[in-house]
Structure 1
Amino acid sequence: MTIATDKKPRPKRTPKPEGQWKIDGMEPLNDDERIKQEDPGFSAKQRVIDIYSKQGFASIPPEDLAPRFKWLGIYTQRKQNLGGELTGQVPNSELQDEFFMLRIRFDGGRATPQQLRVVGEISQEFARSTADFTDRQNIQLHWIRIEDMPEIWERLEAVGLSTMMGCGDVPRVILGSPVAGVAQDEIIDATPAIETIVNEYLHREDVQNLPRKFKTAISGNARQDVTHEIQDVSFVGTNHPEYGPGFDCFVGGGLSTNPMLAQSIGAFVPLERVPEVWHGVVSIFRDYGFRRLRNRARLKFLVAQWGVEKFRQVLEDEYLESPLQDGIPTVPHMGNRDHVGVHKQQDGKFYVGVKPTVGHTTGEQLVAIAEVAESFGIERIRTTPMKELLFLDVDEDVIEPLSKKLSETGLYPKPSEFRRGVMSCTGLEFCKLAHTTTKSRAIELVDELEEIIGDLDVPISITLNGCPNSCARTQVADIGFKGQTLTDENGDRIEGFQVHLGGAMGLNPDFGRKLRGHKVKASEVTDYVVRVVTNFKEQRNPGEQFRDWVLRAEDEDLS
């Protein structure tokens, strides 16, 4: 029997505006947007020089401290000895110290011995000798006082370095192939495009207020050596059968709590149009990106909503001088993407790639590395997205003595697969978002794995991340640890990790496999890795990679 009702269907709610400038207007929908519109981030630099460096930390107003200082490449670090159980439970103002992290840009990873020496000296004098190579080809220092920033800027600028736009809602450092222009397996040298973007586009006002950070990678190397799958925009070298060498353009990649892989827009981009297309993509993000909610204010969410077909159409119709030619699908590179070891250059010389464990170094080491390079006449050094250091233009007869000297500085010319593939974020030591200690734990982990297992004959990537934000690329590692606070059998809150297994970029990119409810105490990380890697060694098929074994392994062999 049908029962009559007087209820009328509820009208659909009008969706809240996303803060897209071209659709919703420019009225700020949150405090971050209001602050950015009231006074641009770069305005704070002169106040640092004129006021804060003279009057000290207490003179800095909150809206300069965060977010504007990020535009200057600095933000507060975590107070020491505050446990991870406090993260997210107390305001940042209670977690932050009166010292800063300082991020120094190396666009394209290009460095000189003189630059490394200056950074090393700054580290020793002003940063308690801290220094870390990052997976974005930068160097980060800690323990920086606001009183010292004017002199630090002067020293950096004297050797062509900058901290500007190291953080903030702006285009961050441009990742580039560390062997651009020298590698034998290069498709096309992207250096001119990176230089044009850095010199002609980065400092324009129209890219200085984006919804959130914007990450770029440009490489013409056949190794696809810039992690293009997880960038906001990336340009990957390709050989088009009709148009010759150029680039495939990918958009909408990113990890964190909502990981998404970048997608090709299906266009062929010639070298001379890369800066124009880059600026067009940035401008789409500026005009159509979601600004209301910070956790949705990344380009990947817009790409997911629009799809790449609409994205390309808007790009060509509204932002480019003319349409792009259709491209061909990019074939993923099948081997290691890093540049560890000795490799022949196009000109017959060699480049040598070495590994600092998890990118960690000191001011003294940076100065020593610079001295070694200068003693062998090396003028070009490169940082990489895999936290390596490369030394270019090496004569064949000095490869061995150079490697020996670099080894003496604490670098590894022939690292084990464990040391080669390990990566970590800053972690609880300095980061206000972290739940766990990562960097020192990663260093200990590698030492213990080498002692217990020795080495592997296949690559293995192990990453330790202190929080869900995936700065260490947890979801695309063979074994990825995501930091969180656990409760032990005694009811105590302790450091621990959720585990991702079998993640990968390249062929069949994937975010890996999680075991339901499986957590690992921080104190048991080494035991866990030894157990899983031993199972892999015992069960693998000939030539099988770790990630392929993970996909077919039983849960108990991964626990």
Structure 2
Amino acid sequence: MYRYDQYDHLIVKERVAQYRDQVRRRLSDELVEDEFRILRLQNGLYLQRHAYMLRIAVPYGLLASRQVRMFAHIARKYDRGYGHFTTRQNIQFNWIKLEESPDILAELATVEMHAIQTSGNCIRNTTSDELAGVAADEIVDPRPYAELIREWSTFHPEFAYLPRKFKIAISGSEQDRAATAVHDIGLHVIKNEAGEVGFRVLVGGGMGRTPILGSQIRDFLPWKHAMSYLEAILRVYNQYGRRDNIYKARIKILVKAIGPEEFARQVEAEWQDIKDGPSTLTEEELQRVANYFTEPAYETLPATDAEYERLKAEDKGFANWIKRNVKEHKVPGYAAAILSLKKTGVPPGDITADQLDFVADLADRYSFSELRVTHEQNLVLADVKKSELYALWKEAKAHGLATPNIGLLTDIICCPGGDFCSLANAKSIPIAQAIAERFDNIDFQHDIGDIELNISGCINACGHHHVGNIGILGVDKDGAEWYQVSLGGAQGNTSSIGKIIGPSFSAHQMPTVIDRLLQVYVKQRIEDERFIDTVRRVGVTPFKDFVYATPIKAGQVTGEDVCA
């Protein structure tokens, strides 16, 4: 994985010193909060309901075990013993003291980490496929390009004060696991018919108040022009993006207003002036970065392992975990194992300090000391020998990290919501927990199959509810917390935005609402049809009609409870 060079070390060291002085001035009232706010946000520090929250950057979701141990240390020393992984592959700590925040950044710097550009109207942390470099369906490893984007975008002086925050996602596989269609810029690393590497470019995707899927403005961009083309996109947005209305400031609004074709034309015109300038990538520069992502010391192993197959056949719990949590690897004899952070009773994405230390140990012993963070708020050990999967599973299970629910109903994406966030209209975590408890039957979940259930506590959509097969949005209704439900959203190769089914529900009604939706699915599905495919085939109306057919009372379980 990437290691800091002399410039990275210097930049981060100087930023920590600068921020430490800013905090000193704030604590002595030399700076008032309005002056300090933009300074702390540039360093990832938010003021939330109960305390400050620090968001730490995890570039393209890749972590070394020593960095995970630092997270454990921060959780114990500066927080309340846990952290929260987000949909941008970052980690957040929710109980930070302002006077201690410079010390946290200084300690992070010792393991080559920071919180720069995890907030503010700038280019945020670039996200990517959690299986990058190991996926069996990979066309091109996107990690070197993700790192180049990180280096290019960090402290870019022209794009430090954009009209609004800006998010980039990059994928290099046949299956898009980076949700590129709902980002300001989505990049697919591909090869053309001549075998040349380039990018398919999407622009103007996003969720929030106005959910929109990105529009393709380039079907093939040669890799050497990646930075200059991104620069052209940002320049057009920086010049013409709305600055008079925060709700209309994202690039998606600009693209929608003038149309994708006109936006592409303006980008092309801007790009012609800079396409062969200093931002043009060279083979030497690409190789410099690619050298950080060479393959680990894989052993030559048989594609199948007899003992592994025997254990899978004899142990149902292990077989369930393999089915849902283990992904195919490009190297024979290896697999990628997903550690679920969605155990029932635990807020989705949360992880304790002890679990962080334990996961770091697992990475050292089973996966070349590296981990990945998914934008679904789980962790990945990407390079595990198949012969060691059983031992890994037993250890992970003992520490609450082996729930076999990846891609299933209880693998819920969920923002911190009103329990922490000052922007939220409603709590998210209690809704996720109530649904998980209601359907905490792994055999039932495996029978129901793939379902993406996403929850956001406000319209900012940090829980990606718009692209959940079932999306739940917390709304304020006369000072009370209510929940709006949408159906038909999806990410990946067939991305779509969900449709609201009708009036909102109270918190106590939500588990029964989900139950009724599942009842319709079970009755309507054809053989092994997925939930999203059934919704697309029959439409939202049958689901809506059944959900609203009779009132839902407190604590009600219907006579045909699908999980009975």
Answer whether TM exceeds 0.5 for this pair: yes
Identify the match of residue 61 of structure 2 among 109, 114, 128. 109
Give the deviation of 1:182 after TM superposition.
Answer: 2.0
Q: What is residue 156 of structure 2 aligned with on the other side?
A: 204
- Equivalent of 1:374, from 361, 364, 370? 364
What displacement does 1:75 show?
Answer: 0.8
CA distance in 2, matches of 1:507, 1:397: 32
Aligned residue for 1:540? 525
Match of 1:471 in 2: 462
SS of equivalent to 2:37:
helix
- Quote the Cα distance in structure 2 between the aligned partners of 1:416 and 1:289: 38
State the secondary structure of the residue aligned to 2:500. Answer: coil
2:477 is aligned, of 486, 496, 499, to: 486
TM-score between the two structures when normalised by the length of structure 1: 0.80
Equivalent in the alignment of 1:531: 516
The CA RMSD measured in Å over matched residues stands at 2.6
Q: In structure 1, what is the Cα distance between the partners aligned to 2:92 and 2:260?
A: 35
Alignment partner, residue 134 of structure 2 = 182
Aligned pairs for 1:270-289 within 5 A: 270-289=222-241
Residue from 106, 123, 128 that aligns with 1:171:
123
Deviation at residue 417 of structure 1 after TM alignment: 4.7
| Cα distance in 2, alignment partners of residues 135 and 534 from structure 1 | 29
Letter in 2 for 1:467: C
Q: Could you tell me how far apart the structure 2 residues matched to 1:150 and 1:543 are?
A: 53
Q: Which residue does the alignment assign to 1:496?
A: 482
Distance 1:243 1:311, change over 3 A: farther
- CA-to-partner distance for each residue in 1:374-428, whole Å, 9 max, x for gaps? 2336311111112221112222221111122122222126226545641111101
Q: Is the 8 A contact 1:478 1:501 kept in 2?
A: yes
2:501 matched to 1:515?
Answer: yes
Distance in 2 between residues matched to 1:57 and 1:437, nearest whole Å: 35
Change (3 A) 1:111 1:183: same
Q: CA deviation at 1:66?
A: 2.7
Structure 2 SS opposite 1:500:
strand
Contact 2:204–2:252 (Cα < 8 Å) also in 1: yes
* CA apart distance, 1:159: 0.6
Amino acid at match of 2:507: A
1:160-559 counterparts in 2 under 5 A? 160-242=112-194, 244-320=196-272, 321-322=274-275, 340-346=325-331, 348-357=333-342, 358-376=348-366, 378-412=368-402, 414-415=404-405, 417-418=407-408, 421-451=411-441, 454-455=444-445, 456-486=447-477, 493-506=479-492, 508-516=494-502, 518-550=503-535, 551=539, 553-554=541-542, 555-559=544-548
Partners of 1:200 and 1:354 in 2: how far apart? 32
In structure 2, distance between residues paired with 1:542 and 1:417: 19
2:73 partner letter? E
CA contact (8 A) 1:53 1:149 kept: no
Query: SS at the partner of 1:290?
Result: coil
Encode CA deviations 1:491-532: one digit per residue, 9 max, x unaligned.
xx532101111222345533222233x221111211111122
Secondary structure of 1:498's counterpart equals strand
- Opposite residue 405 of structure 1, the aligned amino acid is E
Deviation per CA, 1:143-193: give whole Å up to 9, x if none. Answer: 111111121011111111110100100000001122222222101112221
Larger mean Cα displacement after TM superposition, 240-249 or 119-128: 240-249
Find the counterpart in structure 2 of residue 64 from structure 1.
35
What per-residue deviation string (whole Å, max 9, x for no partner) do you get for residues 32-79 of structure 1? Answer: xxxxxxxxxx99965641253587496651223433321111110113
Normalization by structure 2: what TM-score?
A: 0.79
Aligned pair in 2 of structure 1 residues 237, 523: CA closer, same or farther (>3 Å)?
same
- Given that 1:44 and 1:68 are in contact with CA atoms closer than 8 Å, whether structure 2 keeps it comes out as no
User: How far does the alpha carbon of each residue in 1:82-112 deviate from its partner, in whole angstroms, 9 at most, with x for none?
Assistant: xxxxxxxxxxxxxxxxx21111111111101
Contact 2:340 2:406 in 1 (8 A): no
| Equivalent residue, structure 2, for 1:329 | none
Deviation at residue 473 of structure 1 after TM alignment = 1.4
The answer to whether the 8 A contact 1:340-1:388 is kept is no
The alpha carbon displacement at 1:113 in A equals 0.8
Q: Cα deviation per residue 1:532-551 (whole Å; 9 max; x = unaligned)?
A: 21221123222333234331
1:339 and 1:388 mapped to 2: Cα distance?
A: 13
More displaced stretch, 183-192 vs 111-120: 183-192
1:5 maps to none
What is the CA deviation profile of residues 16-39 of structure 1, one whole-angstrom value per residue up to 9, with x for unaligned ones?
Answer: xxxxxxxxxxxxxxxxxxxxxxxx
Structure 1: gaps of 5 or more residues: 1-41, 80-98, 324-337, 488-492
Amino acid at match of 2:466: Q
Instruction: Describe the superposition over 1:232-260 as per-residue Cα deviations: whole angstroms up to 9, x where unpaired.
Output: 00111334224544321000011111111
Q: Secondary structure at the match of 1:173?
A: coil
5+ residue gaps, structure 2, are: 1-12, 277-322, 343-347, 549-564
Change (3 A) 1:57 1:381: farther
Among 37, 62, 73, the alignment partner of 2:44 is 73
Q: Secondary structure at the match of 2:163?
A: coil
* Separation in 1, partners of 2:324, 2:184: 24
Quick check: 209-218 or 405-414, which moved more?
405-414
CA contact (8 A) 2:122 2:161 kept: yes
Which moved further from structure 2: 309-318 or 138-147?
A: 309-318
Aligned length: 479
